[in-house]
Amino acid sequence: MAESGPYQYFLYEVNDRVATITFNRPERLNAITFELARELPRVIDAAAADPEVHVIVLQGAGKGFCGGYDLQEYAEQQSEHPCGQDEMPWDQTADFQAMWECTQHYMSIWRCNKPVIAKVHGAAVAGGSDIALCCDMILMADDARIGYPPTRVWGIPTTMMWVYRLGIEQAKRMLFTGDLVSGKEAETMGLIQQSVPANELDTAVQALCDRIKGVPRNQLMMSKMVVNQAYEAMGMANTQRFATLFDGFARHSPEGKWFEERARDVGYKQAVAERDSGEPIAEGRSKDFSPFGIR
């Protein structure tokens, strides 16, 4: 077993042609900061450059895979968004530049010349689902959850991998509802490779790695490149530009600013519960909040 680093937010080890990369912020449910996003391509590139590695597993330490951007502290305090720019007046280009950089960090998984398997337990939500969906294959525990709840208010998935992995009907369902789906439902939808009982997840991932790692690295690289280019030819980069721009718009819409203020007033968990309740967002606005501008 070989180890590489040091990394602040990841654990990295190699054993028998398999590199295992582990998000290592378990105390924050492996939530994403700008520094973590910047470190992700470094550790992915290390595995890509290692001639001993044929396949990569990406997983999370602690209770889950990745809980998305580290927004609780931001939402409840007047602190900077982990990647975007949220001061008013808002500079759309600065926000886009910061979020586009994050998107490209996630896409280092897509561009990696070796297969990357996401091993999801607990939850892969919001930005965490962006990262999981950039992987080549996803295996989930039956009781794990995946989805992008901020599409209800305050976010758009910048990688927009939902449409490429699901097709138009199911992608719109996930974006219009912000639903979280279980591993079992994700497999039925065709979103992931396989869902298994939680106590069998390690074994299932190992079995897939054992099947892949015997293939020459050059063959794996060619196969991945030829499949990826088909999706890139569909205009993936332009789709992601729109999505990244719209993510900034979503955080600065009247409803988005309401959510931000509501989180500071009543706490992030309560604001999320109200967002996800199904009640119209407008009914939760304070009386001095104008739908035509920011108070």
Count the Cβ atoms, other than its own, within 10 Å of residue 265: 11
Binned at pLDDT 50, 70 and 90, residue 70 comes out as very high
Which class does domain 2-252 fall in?
A: alpha beta
The first and second tokens of residue 84, run together, are 């975007």
Burial class (CB in 10 A: 0-12, 13-18, 19+), 202: middle
pLDDT tens digits, residue range 178-189?
Answer: 999 999 999 999
* Interval 251-270 mean pLDDT: 91
At residue 79, the pLDDT reads 59
Mean pLDDT value across residues 236-242 = 97
pLDDT, tens digit, for every residue of 104-134?
A: 999 999 999 999 999 999 999 999 999 999 9
- 194: pLDDT confidence band, cut at 50, 70 and 90? very high
**Domain residue extents for the chain:** 2-252
| Mean of pLDDT over the chain | 91
What average pLDDT does range 268-279 have in this prediction?
92
**Over 70: is that where the pLDDT of 74 sits?**
no
Model pTM greater than 0.85? yes
Say what the pLDDT of residue 283 is: 52
Q: What are phi and psi of 215, to 5 degrees?
A: -80, 140
Choice among 124-128, 165-169, 282-286 with the minimum mean pLDDT = 282-286
Those residues with Cβ within 8 angstroms of residue 259's Cβ, 6 or more apart along the chain or in another chain: 75, 153, 154, 271, 275, 281
pLDDT at 288 over 60: no
> Could you identify the residue written with the tokens 């992995």?
165
The pLDDT value given to residue 19: 98
Instruction: Say if residue 64 is exposed, middle or buried (CB neighbours under 10 Å; 0-12, 13-18, 19+).
Output: buried
Tell me what pLDDT residue 89 has: 82
**% of the chain residues with pLDDT over 70:** 89
Parallel, antiparallel, or unpaired: how do β-strands 145-147 and 180-182 relate?
A: antiparallel
pLDDT of 86 above 90: no
pLDDT above 70 (res 75): no
Comparing 95 with 295, the larger pLDDT belongs to 95
User: In which residue are the tokens 């990394």 written?
Assistant: 7
Predicted local confidence at residue 157, as pLDDT: 98
Q: Is the pLDDT of residue 1 over 60?
A: no
How would residue 84 be classed by pLDDT, with cut points 50, 70 and 90?
confident
Is residue 232 within 8 A of residue 71, CB to CB? The reply is no
